[in-house]
Amino acid sequence: MATPPQRIFLTGAASGIGAHLADTFLKKPGHRVFATDIAHDRLRARAHDHAWPADRSELAALDVRDPEAWRTTYDAAIARFGAIDLHLNVAGYLRPGWILDQDPAQIDEHLDINLKGVIHGATIAARHMVPRRSGHIINIASLAGIAAVPGIALYSAAKHGVRGFSLALAQELAASGVAVTVLCPDAVQTPMLDLQVAYDEAALTFSGPRPLTVEEVTQAILTRVLPRRPIELAMPPSRAWMARLAALFPGSAGRLRAHLEAKGRARQAARRAR
């Protein structure tokens, strides 16, 4: 199904899922993208290298941890496009590590970027969309937000928060005409995944047969999330069911962990050897 032209606000657009979403939307006639990232130089380089049309795109630096920056940036987006139809919270942060080794700064980074940044963004988007009685907010969580993942516990905690917040917000806005979807993908081949290769603590991240691609995530958004507006989509199905079972029966997770970690360590080693 073709997606009608939309005015899109996007975080984390300099790389990974966010960058590929911006590339894809801007190849479609009529779509306009207000692309943001804290790494403004990398965002400009992406726009240049992928020939984002200047008449349908706007670039802005945004630190998703800063509520005031959210307000001024969203005001600028509305001034440029008139309104926002689709808001995607994609920006994220991950640094593997056992909890006993983590310092307070890492706790703040994970929760401020991954969770509070999503809450700030979704809230300001909802305040804009509800009076118009239309719009769609998409928050990127993770399968680590369904099943707890040791070794990346701070990321997992933040993504559990994103999922819980999104499900609650979807119910709060259900009668307003504004949809909320939380997308929970397995590991995706992005710079965030490359970073984890060097960390033994992240072995479970690599326990699946292969990582998803940014193309697969984008296609899921275009073909399943936008036309159907589900409250939640977890992918791929086989790993999603495993995560849901682990969440439903947390006592069973420990019995599977050794098996999955062994698979993950082997796949990490293969990636390190490339």
CATH number of the domain encompassing residue 78: 3.40.50.720
**Is 270 within the bounds of a domain?**
no
**Is 133 within the bounds of a domain?**
yes
Total domains, the chain:
1
- What span, in angstroms and rounded, lies between the C-alpha atoms of 172 and 149? 29
What's the pTM?
Answer: 0.96
Q: Parallel, antiparallel, or unpaired: how do β-strands 232-235 and 7-10 relate?
A: unpaired
**Is 162 within the bounds of a domain?**
yes
CB 187 within 8 A of CB 263: no
**Is 161 within the bounds of a domain?**
yes
How does pLDDT run along the chain (274 residues), one tens digit per residue? Answer: 566 799 999 999 999 999 999 999 999 999 999 999 999 999 999 999 999 999 999 999 999 999 999 999 999 999 999 999 999 999 999 999 999 999 999 999 999 999 999 999 999 999 999 999 999 999 999 999 999 999 999 999 999 999 999 999 999 999 999 999 999 999 999 999 999 999 999 999 999 999 999 999 999 999 999 999 999 999 999 999 999 999 999 887 777 888 899 999 999 999 999 8
**Is 99 within the bounds of a domain?**
yes
Candidate list 74, 93, 155, 199, residue with the active-site label: 155
CB 67 within 8 A of CB 120: yes
- What span, in angstroms and rounded, lies between the C-alpha atoms of 33 and 27? 11
Domain that holds residue 181: 7-196+211-249
**Is 201 within the bounds of a domain?**
no
**Is 16 within the bounds of a domain?**
yes
93 catalytic residue (yes or no): no
**Is 146 within the bounds of a domain?**
yes
